[in-house]
Amino acid sequence: MKTIDDFNFSDKKALIRVDFNVPLNEEFKVTDATRIEAAKPTIIKVLEDGGSAVLMSHLGRPKGQPNPDMSLKHIIDKVSEIIGVQVKFAEDCVGDVAEKAVADLKPGEVLLLENLRFHAEEEKGDEAFSEQLSKLGDIYVNDAFGTAHRAHASTTIVAKYFGDNKCFGYLLANEIEAIDKVLASGEKPVTAILGGSKVSSKITIIENILDKVDNLIIGGGMTYTFVKAQGGKIGDSICEDDKQDLALSILEKAKSKGVNIYLPVDVVAADDFSNTANTQVSAVDNIPDGWQGLDAGPKTLENFKKVILESKTILWNGPVGVFEMESFAKGTIAIGNFIDEATKNGAFSLVGGGDSVAAVKQFGFEDKVSYVSTGGGAMLESLEGKTLPGIAAILK
């Protein structure tokens, strides 16, 4: 794997695809700079080598049209503050304006290009547009995991114009390494904890990881499709009736592959989908009509705890309850605490994909797990076993 450490950027211009798609408030101020912070080590490495950095990113969904609300101008101050260098700006990401700005760039300087998605060609992966982008640097560095699953001009197509002069930035390399640790080279026992609302959105992940894990913990809304398929009474709990056969076949497959599956045995059931609903703990396969399971129960959490604490490698994707409501967040918080404990005991833990990161941030587990992925969709597709186009383009 070719990373940024394989290059010396002295007197070179690095064209770096970053993911600066950050949230802005009504005054166009950055409200969460995590993604900018995440790209910092890569940018600093280029500058410390004596090179200059040309940063390209998208922001929002301008749909191929310039839109002042989504200009990357809004983030110049924040990027300058984080990198510690006054960042220059080019009003367009291709053409004369961009090329002139790059030509004027001196070692130690940083140039931010205007939003890539102001050009429809970006998302189309247009060749001519990609070639224009490729004129803006000597070495192409991809450090945007969040868009690595898209075959866009700046994330994938542009790479082919750089021959061997292309590599992964630190962030993207770390993401690849973390996924590899969990799915390929992790110390056993390897445990995946999958939650979230629907079997249908997680099925490809489940099928892929059955070949790679020792234990699979299933929680959250997915539970009830499995329980009903096995003849349990789930009351009014969320269920995908058309996925019951699929659930049974997953259980069969797990058995034949020697993977231990752990499903909830008890749940916190509520008489309404509301934070103020009445609640009771009930057996997962005997939930009264009019009640729905919204969080993992105490016996379930004891079982899950035992498995998690015995694990050496842990993957967590998806909450085990409706964590957005305080009354049903306890299970998800408990899982976070068990993973924290296992990590302190030496396990490698990776959290990522979809909503998981939101839950982890909300409850302050960010610093307690080994790695929190920065890519929602990209992480989900990696867990599904797909080769991401942005990663493949560098490896080619």
Active site residues: 35, 198, 354, 377
**Residue 293 in contact with ligand AMP, rule: CB under 6 A:** yes
Residue in 201, 208, 362, 370 binding ligand AMP, rule: CB under 6 A: 201
**Residue 375 in contact with ligand AMP, rule: CB under 6 A:** no
Cα separation, 97 vs 102, in Å, equals 9
Q: What is the DSSP string of 251-284?
A: HHHHHHHT-EEE--SEEEEESSSSTTS-EEEEET
Is the CB of 198 or the CB of 305 nearer to ligand AMP? 198
**Residue 272 in contact with ligand AMP, rule: CB under 6 A:** no
**Residue 232 in contact with ligand AMP, rule: CB under 6 A:** no
Closest CB 118 distance from ligand AMP, rounded Å? 30
**Residue 80 in contact with ligand AMP, rule: CB under 6 A:** no
Sort 66 into a burial class: Cβ within 10 Å, 0-12 / 13-18 / 19+: middle
Cα separation, 380 vs 35, in Å, equals 18
**Residue 235 in contact with ligand AMP, rule: CB under 6 A:** no
Which of the stretches 57-65, 76-84, 163-171, 194-202 binds ligand AMP when contact is defined by CB under 6 A? Answer: 194-202
Which of the stretches 31-39, 192-200, 225-233, 385-393 binds ligand AMP when contact is defined by CB under 6 A? Answer: 192-200
335 near 363, Cβ under 8 Å?
no
**Residue 389 in contact with ligand AMP, rule: CB under 6 A:** no
Distance (Å) of CA 10 to CA 85, 107, 108, 322, 396? 17, 8, 10, 51, 25
Closest CB 339 distance from ligand AMP, rounded Å? 16
Closest CB 364 distance from ligand AMP, rounded Å? 18
Residue in 324, 340, 341, 366 binding ligand AMP, rule: CB under 6 A: 324
Q: Which residues contact 348 (CB under 8 A, 6 or more apart)?
A: 181, 182, 186, 187, 312, 313, 314, 370, 371
Is the CB of 218 or the CB of 394 nearer to ligand AMP? 218
Residue in 81, 177, 272, 355 binding ligand AMP, rule: CB under 6 A: 355
**Residue 336 in contact with ligand AMP, rule: CB under 6 A:** no
Site size toward ligand AMP, by CB under 6 A: 17
**Residue 294 in contact with ligand AMP, rule: CB under 6 A:** yes
Residue in 321, 352, 389, 390 binding ligand AMP, rule: CB under 6 A: 321
**Residue 331 in contact with ligand AMP, rule: CB under 6 A:** no
Distance (Å) of CA 68 to CA 21, 71, 117, 316? 15, 5, 12, 38
Is the CB of 16 or the CB of 238 nearer to ligand AMP? 238
**Residue 131 in contact with ligand AMP, rule: CB under 6 A:** no
Secondary structure of residue 247 in the 3-state scheme: helix
What residue type is 225 in one-letter code? T
Closest CB 151 distance from ligand AMP, rounded Å? 24
**Residue 178 in contact with ligand AMP, rule: CB under 6 A:** no
**Both structure tokens of 138:** 């000597």
Closest CB 374 distance from ligand AMP, rounded Å? 17
Distance (Å) of CA 133 to CA 122, 130, 150, 274? 10, 5, 17, 50
Which of the stretches 116-124, 146-154, 174-182, 316-324 binds ligand AMP when contact is defined by CB under 6 A? Answer: 316-324
First to last CA, the chain: 10
What residue type is 222 in one-letter code? M
- Locate the DSSP E strands across the chain: 13-17, 52-56, 88-90, 110-113, 139-142, 166-168, 190-194, 215-218, 233-234, 260-262, 266-270, 279-283, 286-287, 292-296, 313-317, 348-351, 371-372
Cα Rg, the chain, nearest whole Å: 23
Which candidate, 172, 79, 70, places its Cα nearest to that of 119? Answer: 70
Is the CB of 158 or the CB of 205 nearer to ligand AMP? 205
Is the CB of 293 or the CB of 375 nearer to ligand AMP? 293
Strand partners, 333: none
CA neighbours closer than 13 Å in the CB half-sphere of residue 56: 31
Residue nearest to ligand AMP (CB): 196
**Residue 352 in contact with ligand AMP, rule: CB under 6 A:** no
Binding site for ligand AMP (CB under 6 A): 195-198, 201, 220-221, 238, 293-294, 318-319, 321-322, 324, 354-355
